[in-house]
Structure 1
Amino acid sequence: MADLIEDAQFLEQYQRAVAAANQARATEPRAVAVYYDAINHLIVIRLNSGAVFSFVPDIAQGLGGASKEDLAAVEITPSGTGLHWETLGADFSVLGLLSGCFGTKTWMATLQNRLQSQLA
């Protein structure tokens, strides 16, 4: 059976967790706006830093071949750290997208191979 922690110990752990969350909120990139640019075929993310990041949806797992309507139905998670497409069943972390991660390891390997063959 798990030991119960004392109120003081709980309060200390809680305060550390809140401080860590506040630090992350202040330093990690978060989406403040997102939209699908149908003219240029881009997902465009505006970040809390004022920077803008965009990518072609075809390179993102689950987004390639989707309709304009489905691509436009993107939502920002409440924390601002993720993007969600309900109709497509697709989810991405903002930090992951910024670091070039557009799917699973298998997806990324396939994408890398496809891009290399196009360059050859």
Structure 2
Amino acid sequence: MDDLDRKLAEAQRRTEAEGRRGEYATEALIEVDANGIERLRIYYANGCDFGFPVSVLEGLAQATPEQRREFCLTSGGLGLHWEALDVALYIPALIGGIFGSPAWMRQEVARLNGQKTSPAKAAASRSNGKKGGRPRKVSSTSG
């Protein structure tokens, strides 16, 4: 229990320090910007505000607009929680560009990188095509 008590005390000290600096959210809402893009907008006690397209946040892109709007601030203004979607986001991580779990972030980076084109990628594709392309999948059938 000593380790847990130490971690809780450390978390409490961090929360108090962030509160003194105004580094906690006082309000968050989903709004539609001038381009018709849904954005999560977070307002801080120190007067700052940040916005993120909902489409970049893990667990929210496939949710309905109604589901996305049903959330609350948690952890003294440091978190957001969508109970119906089982999604929780840590606001300081969002500010740092971390929009989901490590596994989800790796998957998103791979997906985005797979969409990129370059002269080298095009040349490699042409070269592989000259070799007959990707081998066909062989299906095993039992008879």
Q: How big is each residue's C-alpha offset from its partner over 1:42-75, in whole Å with a ceiling of 9 and x where there is no partner?
A: 1111112211111112221111111111111121
Please show how residues 50-69 of structure 1 align to structure 2 within 5 Å.
50-69=47-66
TM-score between both structures, scaled by the size of structure 1: 0.75
Separation in 2, partners of 1:80, 1:97: 13
1:37 alignment partner, one of 31, 54, 67? 31
Give how far 1:86 is off. Answer: 1.0
- Identity percentage of aligned residues: 25
Query: Which residue does 2:17 correspond to in 1?
Result: 23
Higher relative contact order (CA 8 A, sep 6+): 1
Give how far 1:102 is off. Answer: 1.2
Unaligned runs of 5+ in 2: 3-8, 118-143
Give how far 1:103 is off. Answer: 1.2
How many residues in Structure 1 have an aligned counterpart in Structure 2?
107
CA-atom RMSD, angstroms?
A: 2.5
Structure 1's 80 and 18: CA in aligned 2 closer, same or farther, altered over 3 A?
Answer: closer
- Counterpart check, 1:46 vs 2:59: no
Unaligned runs of 5+ in 1: 3-13
